A and B are shown apart, each in its own frame.
With several copies, the nearest count.
Chain A
Amino acid sequence: MRRVYLDYAATTPTHPDVVKEMVPFLNQEFGNPSSIHTFGREVRKKVEEAREKVAHLIGANPEEIVFTSGGTEADNFALIGIAFANEKKGNHIITSSIEHHAVLEACHFLEKRGFSLTYLPVDKDGLIDPNDVKRAIKNKTILVSLMHANNEIGTIEPIAEIGKIVKEKGIYFHTDAVQTAGILDVNVNDLKVDLLALSAHKFYGPKGVGALYIRKGTRMVPFIHGGHQERRRRAGTENTSGIIGLGKAAEIAQETKEKEAKRLRELRDYMIKEIFNQIENVRLNGHPIQRLPGNINVSIEFVEGESLLLNLDLAGIAASSGSACTSDTLEPSHVLKAIGVPIQVAHGSIRFTLGKWTTKEDIDYTLEKLVETVKKLRSISPYQHDWKSTS
């Protein structure tokens, strides 16, 4: 059976060249980079090279990069590290209602520990209004944390514009760039951020490794406490093969991302157009233009999302109903809710995310199966005649 993976926003296969770089660091060059002997020093050198590559990818200095166990830890580190280090200055933090759970749950944790949070709304396309940020800033505000692009609906936020506002006020600014680093042009100075989270497995690196950019001079406490690794900012023996894989993935992304983004945008727009051509009562979620190159998120009315996914899966096609980590719950996505999708329509939402190995043939095959499945599910539904479209 043909297998088509259209869930690149959930995770990507590790690039074969990245795998090739990683494997020797498991068994051959296996030293602990903190060791002063040759076994350790050889690996230390490679870890520092990886740091340079990651720094280069986002326009940072290598000393400003701290490796983490992924995007979630990086987001937690940013929020909790800033909060605990600056609580004497204030206890107010601004974020948005469409952040990834890695940010939202860290915020909930901080709320329980005495911090006050503002969750900004978004418009119907998922955009945050920079003026809302300006208005939300108080005397006690110590941090603004807003995602660079949303993982579910693909909307790209006006981070640079917001960064200007936040910087003027002398407040720390964090962006969750897990969906954009390695995919789009991401530069910490253009974006005017003090902190930026990224994750290797979203751009053809391994799962379980990421990084937090921390602008020089930023006042924060470590999140994981222990040994002196990462200049005492993140303790724990380094995931050396993972870090070296992240470095390689950053290097590859640097070279290929522009061309690849262009290719994906074309495929994406083709697929969206065909979905609208071939299926009735569909709506596109997320901004039509300010959108991740590989993201398609549509609500297909009169169809329930899970059965859609399962039917596609039976046809070898992998898609998602939103973020992978929420698919074990029954609640409809907080992001779709935030952009005002009616709940019964949200139930019929599906996300296709395209990537490096996606071909036009994959898209055509998916379209064929999607149309078939929607037809089948609508025919089973008691509502195919009764329901009114809400779009």
Chain B
Amino acid sequence: MYSEKVMDHFNNPRNVGVMENPDGVGTVGNPVCGDVMKLYIKVKDERIVDAKFQTFGCGAAIATSSMVTEIVKGKTIKEALKISNKTVAEALDGLPPVKMHCSVLAEEALKAAINDYFSQKGKSKKEKVSKQD
């Protein structure tokens, strides 16, 4: 069902946990739908220097959360905004069709965290990032 990469990230998720004093936090999903992702980022000079997550959800939800934190670390905010759900899914060697929505959730969580970062920086009005599909 899942690729080896998915299973690896599911079984040994990277960057799990709460971040103290994050620069941005995004929470997406809904327990009724079975998936909630909370993504924390730390930003220095417009570059994401650390990322952490907490996720309630299926195997794909946990793996995509883990993968997106890995991908995003070291990227500039600009670069990070270019990360799409496909980037995440491909980095995991693909996801089953019924699980593609988890990668969308991961993308949304990242965008939400970056938005939060902008808000905190008082930039929210100028550079509001819109949710992509």
Contacts and interface: CB of A to CB of B under 8 A. Distances in A.
Nearest to A321: B58
Given A302-B56, A329-B98, A383 B36 contact: yes
A36 interface: yes
A234 to B, nearest CB: 20
A307 B34 contact: no
Contact of A307 (B27, B31, B54, B62): B62
Interface in A279-331: 302-307, 310-311, 314, 328-330
A347 B32 CA distance: 8
Nearest to B18: A382
Interface string A355-391: 0000000000000000000000101111100010000
Q: How large is the interface on B (under 10, 10 to 19, 20 to 34, 35 or more residues)?
A: 20 to 34
B62 A36 contact: no
B59 A381 contact: no
A41 interface: yes
Interface residues of A, number: 25
B30 to A, nearest CB: 8
Contact of B98 (A303, A314, A328): A328
A307 B16 CA distance: 15
A26 interface: no
Interface in B53-79: 54-59, 61-62
23 contacts: A36-B1, A302-B56, A304-B34, A304-B58, A305-B58, A306-B58, A310-B7, A310-B10, A314-B7, A314-B11, A329-B98, A330-B34, A332-B34, A344-B32, A344-B34, A377-B56, A380-B55, A380-B62, A381-B36, A382-B38, A382-B55, A383-B31, A383-B56
B13 interface: yes
A85 interface: no
A305 B2 CA distance: 16
Nearest to A314: B11
A343 interface: yes
